[in-house]
Structure 1
Amino acid sequence: MNQHPEQTENSEKSEMTEMSTKPVQGEPLLKITDLQVAFSTMHGSVQAVDNASMELAAGSTLAIVGESGSGKSTTAMAAIGLLPGNGKVTGGSIRFDGQELVGMPESKLRRIRGEQIGLVPQDPMSNLNPVSKIGTQIAETLLTHRQATKKDVDQKVVAVMEQAGIPEAARRAKQYPHELSGGLRQRALIAIALACRPQLLIADEPTSALDVTVQQVILDQIGEMTQELGTAVLLITHDLGLAAERAQNLVVMHRGLVVETGPAEQLLNDPQHPYTQSLVRAAPSVAAVRLAPDAFAAPSGTSGSHAAGEPTADGDRPSSGTAVEGAPKRTAEPLVTITDLTKVYPKRGQADFYATRDVTLEIPRGSTVSIVGESGSGKTTTARMLLKLIEPTSGSITFEGKDVLNLNKADLKDFRQRVQAVFQDPYSSLNPMFTVGRIIEEPLVAYKRGNARERRERVLKLMDQVALPAHMFRRYPAELSGGQRQRIAIARALALNPDLIVCDEPVSALDVLVQAQILDLLKDLQQELGLSYLFISHDLAVVRLISDYVCVMKDGELVEAATSEEIFTNPRHPYTRKLLASIPGNELEIDADAEVA
């Protein structure tokens, strides 16, 4: 790999240059052969990776895809010697740039990490030192690997940050991680990983916690920097669309095994292994249709006009006060009507912050209305005001014609029963000290529904409805997977027979297969019980699968709203088009008739 001119300034770096030679002609930069990794547990040894083999050529991108626990991250961490203390490579070979890494002394391996192999980990907040300034953390990498001297390190820190796309780099270098947005924190990790111009970059779920538009910017930044530096990329992800869009070749892992490998396009168009086929079927796509496409279809003649705040064809904003239209004509009033809902947070010495401004929409009975937008767009604030978790500054909310903001004690109690919520992180929203049975029973106890025997029967019925086996009744949340915990949250929300469930990012933390199962479950429950959903998400591909109507929010305002079909086939607002274009693999077509795994 070519060295920067400033990297040859100091003679003390000469010992490192011999380690930066290119791999032998024709030999892969990274070659993993029959890798085996095991973890020691109190129940014995667990095989996490079993005879995995893969190759990555210099300057190319290879993506490892699979659900949590498939062994993809373990394979990557084994390559750079960063396995947990109870993890060990028990067999196989890992060759990087012609050198065998398995069994290499830690002192030599430490020189390779950072200098020749960079790492962008998943969660920027937990991987940046919260008490150290961003510039200091980048400088540490440069000084450790002798890419700068104390005299010029500050200048090089700013240069690296600018290269990573961080605006106002000199000022940001003096800030702490908590002062930066998620996207800027991730860019700081990219700056650290690429500061030494490595030959290989390992990106482990680098954008899973970011909004789709920020995700695209970060991935573009990685792509531009690695192309400029000639760096190869090993991308770890559970997002098949992202992998297909960003990598030339894919490796599919399942339960520690490499089940399929090949060119990305080939694997998508003609997957051979049943697990790969299930990943392709389960991948959300903007080309897919709603899970229940005919359930609430608008009658012919309804064009799906838009909500308050949507620009007209010439880009001007109409006056507010119009609810979401384009819905089927109804004789009964909508279940929920939100009108001119505004939430203002005063800021000392500054202009007030509008979390939402004049939001107007309706939720018809038995349908799903989704609110989409980036973090900070106001979608969760709107949901929390509907749930009466926070009070609006102005505007009105009605539920079955009753003013939600001025309910008396008896009506509020009834409202709490009939409007339930399912939140993003099922683990933090479940009491870790309660068993599954007690968690689901809790609302029944609070509202004095039945005796102990009747409540147990009700809980078991609810568990059956959400496909949780009865033997999990006495399990604790920590003993269950993310998908199982989310099923518990859904069962608890159903306990009091609600009319409306507010789903706030309910599948964003789940793998694609589990995500598909939860979406399918929500659809089935809606058809069986006649539920209405307010679905909050930043993932438009997921929204396409679940929604009848879609409301797009930006900076606290509703900029477009219409039927799901119209939003996805004829988006009118530039921001909606931007969201659609930002979805990884948005050109990936999935058979609409295929059964969701």
Structure 2
Amino acid sequence: MVRSSERPTPGAPLLQVRDVAVQFQTLEGSVQAVQQVDLDLAAGETLAIVGESGSGKSTTAMAVIGLLPGNGRVTAGSIRLEGEELVGASESVMRTVRGATIGLVPQDPMSNLNPVSKIGTQIAETLLAHGLATRKDVDRKVVETLEAAGLPNAAERAKQYPHEFSGGMRQRALIAIGLACNPKLLIADEPTSALDVTVQKTILDQLGRMTTDLGTSVMLITHDLGLAAERASQVVVMHRGRIVEQGPARQILEDPQQPYTQALVKAAPSVSAVRLRPEVFRVGFDGSDAAAPAATPDISPTSTADHTESASPATAPDNIVEVEGLTKIYKIRGKKEDFAAVNDVSFAIPRGETVAIVGESGSGKTTTARMLLKVIEPTSGAMTFDGQDVASLKGRALREFRQKVQPIFQDPYSSLNPMFTIERIIEEPLTFYKRGSAKEREARVRQLLDDVALPQSMLRRYPSELSGGQRQRVAIARALALSPELIVCDEPVSALDVLVQDQVLTLLRDLQSEYGLSYLFISHDLAVVRLISDYVCVMKDGALVEAASSEEIFTNPRDPYTRHLLASIPGNELDIAV
């Protein structure tokens, strides 16, 4: 029955999960990851499973599609798709089910795309394997599939490799593969966690059209409660492998009954929230706050020499970073025209404060951050850190710079050495720069684990044994190890559930208050930016289109593009309980 190409009647039972338990065998013994899970998904409906990292959301989904790791198995219960039992089904049956009947959009785009195969080739393999294209028309259908997933210039993008895509573009490629066969059930595991809000809306609208027009059901795994409330008809809340609450999405999130659900909803960031800081926001970007005596740091793309000269030495802002006219030009294979990834960008990061850069995927946010980290060299422009020209740093000066400026990368899996234990990963910068004795380094590592809310039992584990959110927390702990002055945060909480996200943002705020840390915060999540940032730079197509205080950006955006970004936030108009 699951192999039938007929679409199920809307509202008819499609997926029935009854009393399912999943167990993993580890070196430390058996771990019961999921217990007594019961849920139903009707044809044409969207079911969202929410909960913190490690709650069993993804494990439940992988049990449905039969893709549990080798050390995991379903030990009890029943999983029926259109009445046919999947628990215990042979691998040949499951291979037929996967793709054609159950589609999957996995969480981590980089580790789920073949790095040596072009994006178009990977989509073509899916279409050909399920008989949905021939060798003659497969190229055309690949382009159509990429366009449906919201990728511009799809014909050209199909010829590129995963490393030539931004994080958001890689995620869209995975979504294209998952939608390629028009499955009856699509399991979307954090499908938009790496996407900016405008592309996120495009993808979610596409999923909505599938639900309405094709009768496709969606199992949405997410930590974004606004997205769950806006897009799902039913919500299941999981905690420690069990379902603690489930029901209609609006009812669950507007009037949660269980304490755990209430805690989740309370921790969810909102664009209407107040900036997370130990003191009240001091000044507006234009200096309009008369109660603040200090001069306003100038981070606008249109700063002038006159403004700089008019500030007296006593009131001049103390900027840890100053960027002027930063430009990065790339040459594109097969094209005469060059591509300006970053074009004439100027801003400053005041010491002890947070500047956020927001914009769509491909707008130049991460490229700007990498130039500041001296990972890639700019084509032109100037950057200073603590008054030193970054481009001229060499030898000992460069080594000191590396210790003072630390990154938190977007993709936690690819930035962690899979052959190292968690302890060695966090300790590595301390060892490399010869910080402290072995005992002092061990104590520092344990303290860092506590700071990012990870148990000490994680020390001997490897990245592959951690959830996406847990891996991101390890990356944050490593960045904090050397007690840097500036942390460049590239989507540091995009993989975290709302409870841990709240903890990490609070941690970053407290560290900033205590040690005077400065942050460059790259994010597509405007609600998170509202909580963490003092100033916001909005980028589009490599250029700054607006720069102002966080308060000004979110209450009185001036540029149409900024207003468009704010209007695209999922669940922005919902009355979520707090």
Q: Return the TM-score normalized by structure 2.
A: 0.81
Q: Report deviation, 1:279.
A: 1.6
- Asked whether the equivalents of residues 17 and 78 of structure 2 are also in contact (C-alpha less than 8 Å), the reply is yes
1:245-256 matches, within 5 Å, as 245-256=230-241
Relative to structure 2, which stretch is displaced further, 393-402 or 547-556? Answer: 393-402
| Residues 33-182 of structure 1 aligned to structure 2 (within 5 Å) | 33-124=18-109, 126-127=111-112, 145=130
SS in 2 for 1:294: coil
Tell me whether 1:525 sits opposite 2:511 in the alignment.
yes
Counterparts of 1:293-312 in structure 2 under 5 Å? 294-298=279-283, 301-302=288-289, 307-309=299-301
2:557 corresponds to: 571
Paired amino acid for 2:282: A
| Separation in structure 2 between the aligned mates of residue 368 and residue 61 of structure 1, nearest angstrom | 37
- Are the equivalent residues in 2 in contact too, given 1:288–1:590 (CA < 8 A)? no
* Contact in 2 for aligned 1:437/1:473 (Cα 8 Å): no
Provide Cα deviations, 1:57-107, integer angstroms capped at 9, x if missing partner. Answer: 221111111233222222223223333333322222223223333344555
Secondary structure of the corresponding residue to residue 29 of structure 1? strand
Task: Give the Å deviation of 1:546.
Answer: 0.8
Shift of 1:258: 0.7
Task: Indicate the residue corresponding to 1:280 in structure 2.
Answer: 265
Match of 2:521 in 1: 535
Equivalent residue for 2:199, pick from 214, 234, 244: 214
1:443-469 Cα distance to aligned partner (Å, 9 max, x none)? 5873x76x6389559837964983679
Residue 31 of structure 1 corresponds to: 16
Asked if 2 retains the 8 angstrom alpha-carbon contact of 1:134 and 1:188, the reply is yes
> Alpha-carbon deviation of 1:385?
3.5
> What do the CA deviations read for 1:465-514 (whole angstroms, capped 9, x no partner)?
836799679756647733551452243131xxx44333333222333222
2:121 and 2:413 mapped to 1: Cα distance? 34
Q: 8 Å contact 2:298–2:348 — kept in the other structure? A: no
Q: CA deviation at 1:227?
A: 1.7
Matched to 1:301, the amino acid is: S
Counterpart in the other structure of 2:328:
344
CA distance in 1, matches of 2:128, 2:412: 42
Change (3 A) 1:284 1:393: same
CA pair 322-566 structure 1, distance change in 2 beyond 3 A: farther
C-alpha distance 68-457 of structure 1, shift in aligned 2 (>3 A): closer
Deviates more, 1:232-241 or 1:169-178: 169-178
Of the three residues 208, 223, 241, the one matched with 2:226 is: 241
Secondary structure of residue in 1 paired with 2:13: coil
Give the 3 Å change call, closer, same or farther, for CA 320–518 of structure 1 in structure 2: same
For structure 2, list consecutive stretches of 5 or more residues without a partner in the other structure: 291-295
**Using the alignment, how far apart are the partners of 1:476 and 1:26 within structure 2?**
44
For residue 363 of structure 1, give the secondary structure of its aligned residue in structure 2.
Answer: strand
Match for residue 558 of structure 1? Answer: 544
Are residues 298 and 97 of structure 1, via their aligned partners in 2, closer, same or farther at CA, if it must alter by over 3 Å? same
Provide the rounded CA distance (Å) in 1 between the counterparts of 2:277 and 2:533: 9
* 1:503 and 2:489 matched: yes
For the residues of structure 2 that align with 1:243 and 1:435, how far apart are their CA atoms? Answer: 32
Q: Is the 8 A contact 1:436 1:488 kept in 2?
A: no
Number of the residue aligned with 2:293 = none
Q: Aligned to 1:513, which of 496, 499, 503? A: 499
Distance 2:116 2:384 in 1: 46
Note closer, same or farther for the CA distance 1:535–1:157 as it changes in structure 2 (3 Å cut). closer
Alpha carbons of 1:493 and 1:518: their partners in 2 closer, same or farther (altered >3 Å)? farther
Deviation larger for 520-529 or 200-209: 200-209
The match for 2:208 is 223
Q: Which amino acid aligns with 1:384?
A: R
Aligned CA-pair RMSD:
4.2
User: What SS does the corresponding residue of 1:544 show, helix, strand or coil?
Assistant: helix
Contact kept? 2:276, 2:532, Cα under 8 Å: yes
Partners of 1:179 and 1:397 in 2: CA distance: 25
CA distance in 2, matches of 1:415, 1:170: 42
Q: State how 1:126-525 maps to structure 2 within 5 Å.
A: 126-127=111-112, 145=130, 189-190=174-175, 192-292=177-277, 294-298=279-283, 301-302=288-289, 307-309=299-301, 331-345=315-329, 347=331, 350-406=336-392, 415-425=401-411, 433=420, 436=423, 439-440=426-427, 442-443=429-430, 446=433, 452=437, 455=440, 459=444, 463=448, 466=451, 475=460, 478=463, 481-482=470-471, 484-494=473-483, 498-525=484-511
Range moving further from structure 2, 505-514 or 45-54: 505-514
What is the deviation of 1:116? 3.5
Q: Residue type matched to 1:493 in 2?
A: L
Aligned-pair CA distance for 1:520: 0.6
More divergent stretch after superposition (333-342 vs 478-487): 478-487
Amino acid in the other structure paired with 2:277: A
**Code of the aligned partner of 2:20:** L
Inter-CA distance 589–477: structure 2 relative to 1 (3 Å threshold): farther
The separation in 1 between residues aligned to 2:454 and 2:89, in whole angstroms, is: 47
What SS does structure 2 have at the residue aligned with 1:493? coil
- Matched to 2:219, the amino acid is L
Question: Is the deviation greater in 131-140 or in 220-229?
Answer: 131-140
Q: Which residue identity is paired with 2:283? A: A
Identity %: 62
Report Cα offsets for 1:251-297 as digits up to 9, x if no partner: 01112111110111111112122221222122222121111273442
SS of the residue corresponding to residue 122 of structure 1 reads: coil
Residues 2-61 of structure 1, C-alpha deviations (whole Å, 9 max, x = no match): xxxxxxxxxxxxx999673746x9752222121122233344432222110111122111
Q: 1:141: Cα distance to partner?
A: 5.1
Contact 1:308 1:321 in 2 (8 A): no
Q: Which amino acid aligns with 2:57?
A: K
Amino acid at match of 2:478: A
Say which SS state the counterpart of residue 250 (structure 1) adopts.
strand
Matched-pair contact (CA < 8 Å) for 1:323–1:360: no
Whole-angstrom distance in 2 between the partners of 1:21 and 1:337: 57
Q: How many positions carry a matched residue from both structures?
A: 561
Q: Is the 8 A contact 1:32 1:52 kept in 2?
A: yes
> Taking structure 1 as the reference length, what is the TM-score of the superposition?
0.79
- The 8 Å contact of residues 297 and 348 in structure 2, kept in 1 or not, is answered as no
Please state how far the C-alpha of 1:355 moved relative to its aligned partner: 3.1
2 CA distance for matches of 1:96 and 1:524? 48
Q: Of the two, which has the highest radius of gyration?
A: 1
Displacement of 1:548 after TM fit?
1.0
